[in-house]
């Protein structure tokens, strides 16, 4: 059934209709091993729905979704944990995968929240919780990472560090990433393929191609296409979560 050994998930003309209203329609793209595919688009354009279609969360969908892996790490856009659950960070890390203590520590360390390991999950701040969510998703060394606005609520410095981490992880694990982000800077600089949604695929291709597409300019404004040029430069250092400078290795 595999047509390309590197394809992890492939959407063919998929869509979802709820109460006679199309949330998203006619979406086709694929995520390959080692590649980052980003979904962009205005609010309500069907980004989260598309991610959930790729994950197989929605039933009764239009079109076809082919999944070629079961090792998936998911960082949802919204998640509410019921306070009736006594749940520490370390329990949450083990939610869908059996991990060793070492693997848990490493993952939490990568996202800068190792010190929170034994904390109660509901006592975390929004940004801390987001870091734990990312750590959980990468700890299981997935083939496919689906990240729905993974850095929401994370401070500005941390945001850049986390995006760099995500990029590093995709290179190290060789996993494919489906990313939803509002941050056009990041999208344009760290992505292999961009799908611009607005209820349907409005345009798609490499960041350069999308940035120059007239439909993209229409949707995001002329300034959006200049972002690419702003961001095409390199940093010689990074910051850890407490702000100290780390020279790039």
Partner 1 sequence: MFDDFFIRALTAGLGLAFITGPLGCFVIWRRLSFFAGTLAHSALLGVTLAFSFDINISFSVLLVSSAIALILLRLQKTTKLPGDALLGLLAHSSLAIGLVVIGFLSYIRFDIMGLLFGDILAVNKKDLLVIWVGGAIILLILKIIWKPLFASTVNYELAEAEGMQPEKVNIIFTILMAAIIAISIKMVGILLITGMLIIPAAMARNLANNPQQMVVLSIIGGILAVLVGLFSSMQFNSASGPSIITAALLLFILSFLKINKLRQLKK
The C-alpha atoms of residue 164 and residue 202 are separated, in whole angstroms, by: 27
Q: Which of 34, 63, 76, 205 binds partner 1 (CB under 8 A)?
A: 76
Q: Is 18 in the site for partner 1 (CB under 8 A)?
A: no
For the sheet containing 201-205, what is the strand order? 72-75, 144-148, 176-180, 36-40, 193-197, 201-205
Q: Which of 39, 107, 146, 166 binds partner 1 (CB under 8 A)?
A: 146
Report the chain's terminal Cα–Cα distance, integer Å. 41
The C-alpha atoms of residue 49 and residue 57 are separated, in whole angstroms, by: 9
Instruction: Indicate the residue among 133 and 151 with the shorter CB distance to partner 1.
Output: 133
- As measured in angstroms, the least distance from the Cβ of 220 to partner 1 is 28
Q: Which of 16, 40, 49, 92 binds partner 1 (CB under 8 A)?
A: 92
User: Segment near partner 1 (CB under 8 A), from 32-40, 84-92, 100-108, 211-219?
Assistant: 84-92
Instruction: Indicate the residue among 8 and 219 with the shorter CB distance to partner 1.
Output: 8
Using CB under 8 A as the binding rule, the residues of this chain from 29 to 58 that contact partner 1 are 52, 55-57
Do residues 34 and 91 lie in contact, with contact meaning Cβ atoms separated by under 8 Å? Answer: no
Q: Is 85 in the site for partner 1 (CB under 8 A)?
A: yes
The C-alpha atoms of residue 138 and residue 19 are separated, in whole angstroms, by: 35
Instruction: Indicate the residue among 64 and 223 with the shorter CB distance to partner 1.
Output: 64
- As measured in angstroms, the least distance from the Cβ of 52 to partner 1 is 7
Helix, strand, or coil (residue 195): strand
Do residues 185 and 231 lie in contact, with contact meaning Cβ atoms separated by under 8 Å? Answer: yes
Helix, strand, or coil (residue 21): strand
Residues that bind partner 1 (CB under 8 A): 52, 55-57, 70, 72-74, 76, 79, 81-82, 84-88, 91-92, 95-97, 120, 146
């Amino acid at each position: 059934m595999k047509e390309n050994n590197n394809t992890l998930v492939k959407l063919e003309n998929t869509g979802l209709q709820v109460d006679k209203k199309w949330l998203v329609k006619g979406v086709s793209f694929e995520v390959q091993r080692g590649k980052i595919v980003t979904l962009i688009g205005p609010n309500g354009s069907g980004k989260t729905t598309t991610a959930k279609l790729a994950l197989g969360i929605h039933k009764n969908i239009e079109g076809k979704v082919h999944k070629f892996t079961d090792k998936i790490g998911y960082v949802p856009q919204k998640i509410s944990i019921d306070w009736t659950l006594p749940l520490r960070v370390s329990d949450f890390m083990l939610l869908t995968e059996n991990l060793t203590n070492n693997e848990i520590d490493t993952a939490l360390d990568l996202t800068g929240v190792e010190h929170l390991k034994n904390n109660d999950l509901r006592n975390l701040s929004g940004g801390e919780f987001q870091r734990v969510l990312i750590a959980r998703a990468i700890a299981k060394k997935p083939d496919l990472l689906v990240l729905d606005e993974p850095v929401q609520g994370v401070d500005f410095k941390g945001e850049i560090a986390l995006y760099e981490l995500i990029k590093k992880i995709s290179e190290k694990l060789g996993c494919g990433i489906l990313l939803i982000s509002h941050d056009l800077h990041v999208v344009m600089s760290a992505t292999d393929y961009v799908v611009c949604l607005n209820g349907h695929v409005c345009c798609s291709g490499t960041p350069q191609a999308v940035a120059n597409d007239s439909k993209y300019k229409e949707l995001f404004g002329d300034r959006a296409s200049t972002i690419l040029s702003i961001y095409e430069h390199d940093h010689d250092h990074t910051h850890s979560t407490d702000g100290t400078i780390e020279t790039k290795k």
